[in-house]
Structure 1
Amino acid sequence: MPEETVRSLSVDGLRYSYRVLRRTGPDTGPHTEPVVVLGGALQGMLGWPQMDGRLGPVANVVTADLPGMGSAAPLPPGPSADILCAAVTRIIDDLGVPRVNLFGFSYGAALAFRCAQHNPGRIARLMLGGVPAHITEAQRAHWQCATDRLAAGDREGFATLVTEALMCLDPDRYVARRDLAYRYVRRSMLHAVEHSPHAADSMFRSLGDRPDFSGGLSGVPALVFTGEHDTVTSAERQRAFAATIRGSRFTTIRDADHWVVLEKADEVAELVLRFFTDRPLEPAGYLSAVPHQSHPGVRPRP
């Protein structure tokens, strides 16, 4: 059994914790820097089993309940990006390593990008998925309706509206495992608001905070990926964001939407493994040799 450790930290007086799953491969085998995984607003340290399984042989896998998430202390009112970025930096310091690989998905992509901007020397490689680089006012209105349902005590209605906001339900666009993903996401949202003391606050905060994806980035190898049918932020807009990161690469994954990490879990985990271990992406059909261009296994973008 892999060795698992949970450590407690604090930042600005806020208690939180992170989990390390120790690398299972031999000391003489291939390995890479620890992989720190940052997920969505309601995704905590136990939500990434596919990463544990695929990355475990080559890296320590690090997940966290950051302030305002899971069992951690609630965040104070006001902007939280600096606090969360400091919390991630504390994790890197506590690991005792000079650099980590950083994976950010959805809400976590904004945090990962900000951390890389603030501390590029601490990030060996950066991978961002389902990047919410552009949110429309209509989307914000939908989210507001969902949080209003939650405030009124309608958890079922909240879970339904949030799930609808995060998935492509257009029958003319094929999404693998759509029905299964819908049920899983809705059930997860409902479970979170029923069992996490901070779930409601996290949802209100994710609505109120406007993640900043401006400013660009250089000096950090980066890969941005998305499901081709992502309806939170389109693949085209995510590719435009990727172009602000010098030397980055971009790909879309076929037959998936914003929940690509669930609908195409094996493909995403393999892509993460290859990128973080500097293995070629092109032979596996994951990425074209041309930066910011989709691969076969993925639908080309004009």
Structure 2
Amino acid sequence: MSEEVIRSLSVRGVSYAYRVLRQPERCTEPILVLGGALQGMFGWPQLEDRLGPVAEVVTADLPGMGSADPLPPGPSVDVLCAAILGIVDDLAVPRINVFGFSYGAGLAFGCARRFPERIARLVLGGVPAHITEEQVAHWQRAAGHLKDGDTGTFATMVAEGLLCRDESRPVARRELAYRYVRRAMLQAALHSPHAVDSLRRALTDRPDFSGGLSGIPTLVFSGEHDTVTAPSRQRDFAATIAGSRFLTVPEADHWVVLERPEEVADVAVRFFTDRPLGTAAGPGAAGAGAVADPAWA
């Protein structure tokens, strides 16, 4: 079993913490895993077991998340990226790999644009590059239920907003993923002091997905039935990153990391260790700079 170390840090007067699973026989830079606005440092067991054999795995309670101090009023992305840079510095390594999922994909991308020299490779999944007004209204209603203490309705609405409920679209482990996400949202609602603020921040203080990026090997992946941001939109985002790869995962929606965890972890390990992804480059491009690979088998 890997040695677990938890370190406390602060940024701009806000205390937060990160957790690292030591791996003395690592073969690549540490892998920092960043997830949703309501996910903390203990929310990634499905990835830790698979990434751990090749690298030190790092998770965090960033400011405004988990056990960390709340964020001050105002824009938060700069503070969160500064907190992530603090983790890289505290690890005493030149560079890290970053696995960013959902809201965490925006943070990972923001960090890569702010301090690219500290990022070795990026894997970005379920990128919320485009959110409709209807989606914002849905999650605002969910936040209203949470603020009123109706945690059950809140958890149900968030789960339904994040998962594909259309039975005509095949999704692996559909009901298992739904129960897990709803339970996780209920747990956050009952025990996280930041739940309302975290959801508000994810809706109103969104990372900037408009600009491009170069010089960092990047893989973007999406479930084929992602209803948060369509795969075509995520492919367009990937096209702004020079030399990036784009993959669509069949029989999965936004929560592809739960529905196809083995496949996601396998391709992440391959990418972070500079091994072939197991699929040949597709015949077409996904826009300027991004190579569209075939869907995984």
With the shorter chain as reference, the TM-score category is over 0.9
Aligned to 1:190: 186
TM-score by length of structure 2 reads: 0.95
3-state secondary structure, aligned to 1:274: helix
Contact 1:271-1:286 within 8 A present in 2 as well: no
What is the one-letter code of the residue matched to 1:213? F
Give the gaps of 5 or more residues in structure 1. none
Contact 2:243-2:291 within 8 A present in 1 as well: no
What is the one-letter code of the residue matched to 1:122? R
Aligned to 1:273: 269
CA displacement 1:220-265 (0-9 Å, x = unmatched): 0000001000000000000000000001010010000000000011
Equivalent residue in structure 2 for 1:262, among 258, 273, 281: 258
1:246 aligns with 2:245: no
Aligned to 1:229: 225
Aligned to 1:101: 97
What is the one-letter code of the residue matched to 1:154? D
CA shift in 2, pair 1:161/1:280, >3 Å: same
Contact 1:251-1:286 within 8 A present in 2 as well: no
Aligned to 2:20: 20
CA displacement 1:144-179 (0-9 Å, x = unmatched): 111111111111111111011000001110101111
Aligned to 1:219: 215
Contact 1:54-1:269 within 8 A present in 2 as well: yes
Measure the CA separation in 1 of the matches of 2:75 and 2:82.
13
Q: Structure 2 matches for 1:38-77, cutoff 5 A?
A: 38-77=34-73
Contact 2:101-2:126 within 8 A present in 1 as well: yes
Q: Structure 2 matches for 1:130-209, cutoff 5 A?
A: 130-209=126-205
Stretch moving more, 222-231 or 205-214: 205-214
Shift, 1:209, TM fit: 1.5
TM-score by length of structure 1 reads: 0.94
Identity %: 66
Shift, 1:285, TM fit: 3.5
Give the gaps of 5 or more residues in structure 2. 285-289
Q: In the comparison of the two structures, how many residue pairs are matched?
A: 292
Aligned to 1:285: 279
3-state secondary structure, aligned to 1:169: coil
3-state secondary structure, aligned to 1:94: helix
Contact 1:286-1:297 within 8 A present in 2 as well: no
Contact 1:33-1:101 within 8 A present in 2 as well: yes
CA displacement 1:83-115 (0-9 Å, x = unmatched): 000000000000000000011100000000000
What is the one-letter code of the residue matched to 1:203? L
